[in-house]
Amino acid sequence: MLKFLGIRDFVIVSSLELDFSSGFTALTGETGAGKSILIDALTLALGGRGDATMVRNGCERAEIAVEFDISGLPQLRDWLREQGLEGDEGVCLLRRVLDVGGRSRGFINGCSATLQQMREAGEQLLDIHGQHAHQSLLRPDYQRALLDGFAGIAAETEQVAALYRDWQTLRRRRMALSENAEAVAAERELLLFQRDELKGLNFNAAEWQAVQEDYARLSHAASLLETAAFGVDTLSESDNACLAQLNALAARLRDGIAHDASLGEALRMLESAQAELQEAVYELRHYQQRLDADPQRLRELERRIQDVMDAARKYRVAPEQLDEALLRIEARLAELGGDADLAALEKQEQAAQQGYLAAAKKLSAARNKAASKLGSEITASMQTLAMQGGSFAVALLPLAEGNAYGLESIEFQVAANPGVPPRSLAKVASGGELSRISLAIQVSSSQVASVPTLIFDEVDSGIGGRVAEIVGHLLKRLGKSYQVLCVTHLPQVAAAADHQWQVSKAVEDGSTLSRIAVLDGERRIDEIARMLGGVKITDTTRKHAAEMLGATA
């Protein structure tokens, strides 16, 4: 329930603080006094659109603060906890600051909040029925949403929409696959051939490196053997072989050491060189034995290299990238799928369609039940709103295949006079009738509202007399279950209220300011009299006002 509203420098309000009570509260006052400013301030505090024109002239910023009692709203308390926006137990505080540059900030329980979060909280706190609601009433989507809200099946409607989207996604995929079946089959056939060809090549990067190294060695085997033989001959087998000459030199150095020991270091180094050269001879001879100039193996390597190079040219990649080409082909084959994939997709589509139809049929049954009840309630209300004999019906018009909202479209139908079959509300109702029907619908739908506070902003425009008195009683009755606020020009409606506030405006220091006063006793009688009699208020008018207030007490 709304407990407190604080307004500072908003439009023509300098500073205003209001404490709210339960029941039905009427806001009255002269035309242009600013009665709807309170509604505008609440709308802004709950995440509505704001702009710089809402900041009072000459001020830097406007600020709206609202307090709600949420002790009876467990879902909202859970939501606040999930969002990290919880505050004191049973209390929800919202604050909106709008500066003269058009920038705004929002807070929930003292924590910075996005406008979306403020709107989500606001949807659970109050409903505002504007004076132009009957304009929206003619839209099919509004009619559907109103019926679903009355039936309490919003979650079921969202589930049907999700199932429909899943079904349509599978349907589009299946149709695309079917329409391109011939082209897909041709591409798949080519890819299968390419995959088998590359798999048959049995290529891998490590093997390719080894093949190149083996080929380089075998293709130069004769030259390499000749080089090894030349080395062995030079070092140990020719007439002037290096080792023979080193051996001779070593023998002379040994003889010389007997006469000069300093030759020992040279001899040591020479003997080391002899050992290294002898090892080189052994290695070259081993190499000669190991190197196999196998022509058959060489031809095999040449064929392998040719196959790999041909495949690389065919697929327009470097030889080292042939394995990547195979992976790309296999990935594309997986995307295209096969005949079995089309059959599986058709089964998935059928299952999704059946799931949607099952949920949509349950939704239709719930709508049908709610449509009958809503139609009866609004028809009953019409009888009291100067539309005797009229009737209201909620028609469920079947759709061939259904859509995201179910298996039917919703159409509000009305018969303004007895004996006339109901027709579309948009084609039948006049402006005055539409206003009254709109009020009847709003009162009926509000009786199942999940929010504790309902606000009616001049929804009683276009009616008067006995009908206005009935409207007042309707709102008073609604106030027994909900906190109801109504901006009204009708004394019959205001007299039925449990509380009455008067909105007025005055010029102070060259600025126009709006004020709100809580009325009781004589002041309330005076205000009702003003609403009845206009500028000049007589004793008779005041007596009439007192009688009206007494009759509704």
Locate the domains of the chain by residue range: 1-125+451-472+481-519, 185-336
pLDDT digits (tens, 9 = 90+) for 303-350: 888 888 998 899 899 988 888 999 999 888 887 766 556 778 889 999
Summary mean pLDDT of the chain:
85
CA distance 425 to 428: 5
Element (DSSP H or E) covering residue 72: none
Element (DSSP H or E) covering residue 281: helix 264-290
Alpha helices per DSSP H over 19-109: 37-45, 74-82
Q: What is the rounded end-to-end Cα distance, in angstroms, of the chain?
A: 23
In 10 A of CB 336, how many CB atoms? 14
What are the backbone angles phi and psi of residue 465, rounded to the nearest 5°? Answer: 60, -135
| 463 contacts 474 by C-beta, under 8 angstroms | no
Residue 449, pLDDT score: 64
pLDDT digits (tens, 9 = 90+) for 198-208: 888 888 888 88
Residue whose C-alpha is closest to residue 500's, from 13, 28, 39: 28
CA distance 308 to 329: 17
Residue 225, pLDDT score: 66
CATH topology of domain 1-125+451-472+481-519: Rossmann fold (3.40.50)
Residue 131, pLDDT score: 59
| 444 contacts 435 by C-beta, under 8 angstroms | no
299: helix, coil or strand?
A: helix
Rounded to the nearest 10 degrees, what angle do helices 431-446 and 140-151 cross at? Answer: 30
Q: How far is CA 69 from the centre of its chain?
A: 30
Residue 338, pLDDT score: 60
65: helix, coil or strand?
A: strand
85: helix, coil or strand?
A: coil
Alpha helices per DSSP H over 71-179: 74-82, 115-123, 133-136, 140-151, 154-179
Residues of the chain with pLDDT under 50: none
